[in-house]
Structure 1
């Protein structure tokens, strides 16, 4: 069953969904382009909303926005509650879509809200909509509230990392960036990026060489943190595997790389990648047969997670400059050697990934290589150790490498008063206690908590599947429950304050 918005009135159907306050504001978010680094439009609209309601709103030097709502009369002395969410979204599409201009078009399918061929932005748009709905709720009994809207979370955690000191007044922070109904998170992974670069000298090849495009596509992709344990295929792992097979099957010096492109986000499992290669004319037929054999093998290996994987080699493409055979082999072997996926599972939290690496973005164009790998870990020391190992591996191959954009993890406090209160509210709303968990993904709580150590924090949200990919969708019933939990927690903290 599909419930679609008319083309001329984007997402009007969202106004008919429940809970109405959240879907009203989520429509605003869908209709306002907001990829990472392009958050100005949505921040301006939130500021306009705050001005209309008479709330204070200010930005810090990091670009984050803080909106404050005074307490319900009689509750002015209640501790401040901070609502926290990020306004940017991952931009991934299977259709033609300009994320800097076009609205996200949505539809309801069997109890879930989807976007039409793009990421939905429920990560973290539902959290933003929840905060705005709370700020607009005239029936809610509450103490002083502040809503923190951060930027650049999906690319670098940049907003949280640049968060102004001595700005937040809250004692409790409710992060709304988790993605499973019935769960509450009290800890998360930290992370660090490893950037690898090189500038190769290109060469023109004579007529003995044929240029081909080798590509991997048809993968599901997904979130490189919460879905890394699902063993999904990454095109930035599988295409190098194909290139290695070609390299090892031919005589030395018979493969040259002209270009490579795979991935658009460091925190998304790469869905497709392609490389333009040059081989000796006599080897073209052999490569085609080898690629077909590899595709059949991958379909067997990935049958349960990525059965749609496709490996293709094109007909001849226009001639272009390429790396030397020696540099090509060095590049291919580096990609083939990089670790991908789960490095270690946690001993303290059974079943949870402790440390992982995602080969997020690889670009080789005009002889310039740029690679961005994202390491995550529940242990900061383990994240830095794996990053150092990747750096060392790159340098052994003669490449430049450095770690950057480190952000700390969030150490769990299993018996905090805020967690106990939330579990009580959860039992009232859902009829059972939530599962208390630690997530292998970067929540901004770790960064915020490092600067504001007095904050008690929890993270919760509705069920979202397929984040960071065009299969992203959010469960409507879970949003209804999320709204009840959010309102119930805020009201409980006002009417029955926790002991100091």
Structure 2
């Protein structure tokens, strides 16, 4: 198998290969952080771990560049851990099996971690290089971006000295980002008291699998199926006629990943078993027709199972099903200000059955605060109707576009000079850490760039090799073009 380090630019790909070899899912980044810190110290670079656990590495300007504005290259240390159901992989212990697949690099059965591993690798390759021109340089590697932006929330003023921040977490070469959506976690808790399952019921497991999933910001407009919502649709349409009693319902693992798989355990009278098989077959055909273009791998299966001793209270079950089916999901509104950009969305990312309740964890995103508030109130209203508790947490601000940004001008002109065409200046619906950096560092001039990454937050994640090279060329040329203080 061809090594990633054979690709160009070799320093970047060598670092990415190292990153893949050290497990670093969200909340488990310390081993990777320590490896990088040890390497930086051996190279004679100044390192610091701040109070929340972010790693900052400083490198002096190259000769003749000492008077340039200081630049902060920023990436996050963690990756999203998603795998296919038939893949045996422990993200806290096993390395990512990255491989070259034609024009792309992908992983075997898991997320690749190109989000944001390629950006991190580029920053480390700049630190390593002795033949690049740049002014005073800091590299900021934050923790826990994907599961709560803990590192960005905890970044304190006075730690960084640079005037310009280049975020490396964008995912489309040829696009330069000057703003992003804000977001908030929304947890709906539905009380589901249990009662003894009637003795004459038959038990089945229903699974909806094989969906593509993806990033709940970058991919939310693509019309992909959400397994949680699709199971809720079946239940709302057929639970009463089948006299179904739920024992459990679970789906998804991350609020910021479109749910690829969901399962439920049900019980029903023997007289309804044949009808259940018919309805499952009919619903499978409906979904395969509706989602033929977007979800060719969709699978809906029914399997007899061991009988659970308890089922949800009937009234609570009806409220849960109605809430899950009625809850908004996907694109709520497109932006009027930025063509083709999602303004407001919601992703029903995780459904979990507890001892006496079901929790529904969603992520609301919006480029405007009023849009986020609107969806918060939609969920609040549905919660009131269903007797569910809504808790909002982890709110983070959007990054407001600055049309007069000097670094945006430098990047645009550098791109045009290097590649002969102007890049698209964009706002991204995904959440970047830039908005949070503005609180401790209100005067930071920021921009976000990156290579082309497809299907992040899913096992189909891949990064286009040629665009990594173009991204590297742009990054190094921009560093050379940073103006004097």
Q: 2:358 aligns with which of 364, 369, 373?
A: 369
Match of 1:305, SS?
coil
| Counterpart in the other structure of 1:457 | 446
What displacement does 1:427 show? 1.6
Equivalent of residue 67 in structure 1, options 57, 64, 76: 57
Q: Distance in 1 between matches of 2:314 and 2:270?
A: 15
Question: 2:175, 2:426 within 8 Å by CA — same for their partners in 1?
Answer: yes
Instruction: Note the residue ranges of structure 1 that are not aligned, 5 or more in a row.
Output: 5-12
2:410 equivalent to 1:421: yes
Q: What is the correspondence of 1:70-149 to structure 2 with a 5 Å cutoff?
A: 70-94=60-84, 95-149=87-141
Q: So what's the TM-score if we normalise by structure 1?
A: 0.94
The residue that corresponds to 1:226 in the other structure is: 218
Q: Compute the displacement of 1:202 (Å).
A: 1.5
- Deviation of 1:31 after TM superposition, in Å, equals 0.2
The separation in 2 between residues aligned to 1:417 and 1:244, in whole angstroms, is 53
**Residue 302 of structure 2: aligned partner:** 313
Q: Return the alpha-carbon distance in structure 2 between the equivalents of residues 244 and 308 of structure 1.
A: 24
> Does the 8 Å contact 1:213/1:317 carry over to 2?
no
Mapped partners of 2:413, 2:364: distance in 1:
35
**Alignment partner of 1:266 is 2:258:** no
Shift of 1:414: 2.1
Note if contact 1:378-1:409 (Cα within 8 Å) is conserved in structure 2: yes
CA distance in 1, matches of 2:400, 2:163: 17
- Which residue number corresponds to residue 192 of structure 1? 184
Match for residue 32 of structure 1? 22
1:159-238 correspondence runs (5 A)? 159-238=151-230
SS for the counterpart of 2:317 is helix
1:219-276 C-alpha deviation (Å, 9 max, x unpaired): 11111101111111000110111111222434xxx32211111001110000010011
How large is the RMSD of aligned CA atoms in angstroms? Answer: 1.3
Superposed CA deviations along residues 87-115 of structure 1, whole A, max 9, x for unmatched, are 10000112110000000011111111010
Distance in 1, matches of 2:314 and 2:66, equals: 71
Instruction: Return the alpha-carbon distance in structure 2 between the equivalents of residues 192 and 241 of structure 1.
Output: 25
Question: How far apart are the structure 1 equivalents of 2:198 and 2:329?
Answer: 36
1:1-24 deviation line (CA, Å, top 9, x unaligned): xx45xxxxxxxx122111011011
SS of residue matched to 2:411:
helix
**Contact 2:73-2:139 at 8 Å conserved across structures:** yes
Question: Could you tell me how far apart the structure 1 residues matched to 2:431 and 2:316 are?
Answer: 35
1:10-60 residue CA offsets vs partner (Å, 9 max, x unmatched): xxx122111011011101100000000000001001111110111111112
| Equivalent residue, structure 2, for 1:7 | none
Partners of 2:339 and 2:64 in 1: how far apart?
A: 45
Corresponding residue number in structure 2 for 1:56: 46
C-alpha separation between the residues in 2 aligned to 1:428 and 1:110? 29
In structure 2, how many angstroms separate the alpha carbons of the residues matched to 1:83 and 1:207?
Answer: 63
Query: Unpaired segments of 5 or more residues in structure 2?
Result: none
Aligned positions, number: 483
Distance 2:111 2:119 in 1: 16
> Which residue pairs with 2:287 in the alignment?
298
Question: Is the 8 Å Cα contact of residues 202 and 307 (structure 2) preserved in structure 1?
Answer: no
- Alignment partner, residue 249 of structure 1: 241
Bigger mean CA offset, 198-207 vs 63-72 = 198-207
1:304-383 to structure 2, matched below 5 A, reads 304-383=293-372
The answer to whether the aligner puts 1:42 opposite 2:32 as a matched pair is yes
Q: Deviations over 1:292-318 (max 9, x none)?
A: 101111111111111222222212433
> Post-superposition shift, 1:206?
2.5
1:450 partner SS:
coil
What is residue 441 of structure 1 aligned with on the other side?
A: 430
The separation in 1 between residues aligned to 2:46 and 2:384, in whole angstroms, is 51
Contact 1:193 1:387 in 2 (8 A): no
Displacement after TM superposition at 1:199 (Å): 4.2
Q: CA deviation at 1:453?
A: 1.5
Partner Cα distance (2:318, 2:112) in 1: 39
Larger mean CA deviation between 353-362 and 311-320 belongs to 311-320
Q: Distance in 2 between matches of 1:49 and 1:295?
A: 53
- Offset, 1:174: 0.4
Q: Distance in 2 between matches of 1:316 and 1:483?
A: 53
**Residue 38 of structure 2 aligns to a residue in which SS?**
helix
